[in-house]
Amino acid sequence: MANNKTLEGKIAIVTGSSKGIGRAIALRLAQDGATLVLSARTAADLAKVEAEIKSAGGKATSVAGDLREPAAPAALANAAIVAYGAIDIVVNNAGATKRGDFFALTDADWIDGFALKLLGAVRLTRAAWPQLKARRGSLLNIIGAGGRTPGPEFTIGGSVNGACQSFTKAMADIGIRDGVQVNAINPGRVKTERFQSMIAAETAQHGGDVNAAIQEIVRKLNIVRVGEPEDVANLAAFIVSPQSRYLQGALIDLDGGQTKTI
Ligand SMILES: NC(=O)c1ccc[n+]([C@@H]2O[C@H](COP(=O)([O-])OP(=O)(O)OC[C@H]3O[C@@H](n4cnc5c(N)ncnc54)[C@H](OP(=O)(O)O)[C@@H]3O)[C@@H](O)[C@H]2O)c1
């Protein structure tokens, strides 16, 4: 990239930015010049990311809160406006859905999955939209490959992701009217803490080592490799940068070739 400060002067909210994909996106947007508003439940984890950004010369503030709470997304948007006076970029990334046998999953598990990833994103989008509209901003949803390709062990996540994809398309249409860029990335398997602990739990149960289990995933899914959080961050930074403004309503599969359908 010729100018590595493509986001100078932009204010960006990234949800779920204390760990994993969200953390990598926040660090990358800060590196590209954006001022970051970090969000997750655990203040101590947010403080570490905030310190990392500041020690690299960037600007950031943290807003701790549970985005499943109906009032939390609007409070996050308000906190961004109070701190920096505007919102240019929103990355809806926070999400955690329970996997497992469909018949063992409860109503509470389903409601919980939708409460964070879909409703958290819906509410933050609604609260931030007037700012995004005024600033000709950019909204990016981090969704997941399971939305296009559902699976029996991932009934909640697949359904939530499908709903988030539909929501992205609808908002992209409204965004054309309002001058807001709206897109989504569907990551495949990405080596975050959650992914690593899932693999560690599986190997503890069935034997074998973690590296062999990862190689087995690569073989079974027929993918080039498992992704790194920085793979998603690189694409996210490109999408929200000024050079991608023609991209609208795109649901981009970033999954090493996992999605085989069109
Ligand atoms: N990793 C993958 O393989 C993969 C694949 C496809 C899609 N995705 C999607 O990518 C997104 C990020 O995944 P990840 O693997 O990076 O997750 P992760 O490492 O588990 O991090 C999740 C982030 O969300 C925050 N969070 C969790 N529950 C929250 C709540 N109720 N309110 C506010 N923040 C909350 C977490 O911090 P606290 O716990 O402190 O709140 C953390 O910052 C998710 O939407 C996930 O579905 C991931």
The domain made up of 11-190+227-254 has a fold known as Rossmann fold (3.40.50)
User: Is 4 near ligand 1, meaning CB less than 6 Å away?
Assistant: no
Name the residue of 13, 17, 19 to mutate for ligand 1: max ligand atoms within 8 A of Cβ: 19
User: Is 67 near ligand 1, meaning CB less than 6 Å away?
Assistant: yes
Q: For residues 256 and 187, what is the distance between their CA atoms, to the nearest angstrom?
A: 9
Please give the pLDDT value at position 73: 98
User: Separation of 98 CA from ligand 1 center, angstroms?
Assistant: 12
Query: Is residue 262 classed exposed, middle or buried when 0-12, 13-18 and 19+ CB atoms within 10 A define those classes?
Result: exposed
Please give the pLDDT value at position 202: 81
Name the residue of 154, 165, 194, 255 to mutate for ligand 1: max ligand atoms within 8 A of Cβ: 194
Q: Is the pTM of this model over 0.85?
A: yes
Phi, psi (rounded to 5 degrees) for 67: -75, 0
User: Is 190 near ligand 1, meaning CB less than 6 Å away?
Assistant: yes
**Tens digit of each residue's pLDDT (9 = 90 or more) over 219-240:** 999 999 999 999 999 999 999 9
User: Separation of 130 CA from ligand 1 center, angstroms?
Assistant: 26
User: Separation of 71 CA from ligand 1 center, angstroms?
Assistant: 19
Please give the pLDDT value at position 3: 57
What lies within 8 Å, CB to CB, of 49 at 6+ separation is: 17, 18, 23, 26, 27, 38, 60, 62
Tens digit of pLDDT at every position of the chain (262 positions):
455 799 999 999 999 999 999 999 999 999 999 999 999 999 999 999 999 999 999 999 999 999 999 999 999 999 999 999 999 999 999 999 999 999 999 999 999 999 999 999 999 999 999 999 999 999 999 999 999 999 999 999 999 999 999 999 999 999 999 999 999 999 999 999 989 988 988 888 777 888 999 999 999 999 999 999 999 999 999 999 999 999 999 999 999 999 999 9
Domain boundaries, the chain: 11-190+227-254, 191-226
**Tens digit of each residue's pLDDT (9 = 90 or more) over 111-138:** 999 999 999 999 999 999 999 999 999 9
Nearest C-alpha neighbor of 230 from the set 192, 195, 203: 192
Phi, psi (rounded to 5 degrees) for 117: -75, -40
User: Separation of 45 CA from ligand 1 center, angstroms?
Assistant: 13
Q: What angle do CA 108, 18, 84 make, to 5 degrees?
A: 110
Please give the pLDDT value at position 1: 44
Ligand 1: nearest atom to the Cα of 161 = 47
User: Separation of 96 CA from ligand 1 center, angstroms?
Assistant: 5
User: Is 16 near ligand 1, meaning CB less than 6 Å away?
Assistant: yes
Mean pLDDT, the chain, as a whole number?
Answer: 96
Q: For residues 106 and 94, what is the distance between their CA atoms, to the nearest angstrom?
A: 21
Name the residue of 39, 190, 217, 228 to mutate for ligand 1: max ligand atoms within 8 A of Cβ: 190
Residue nearest to atom 37 of ligand 1 (CA): 40
Token pair of 100 as six digits: 């497992």
Largest CA distance in the chain: 55
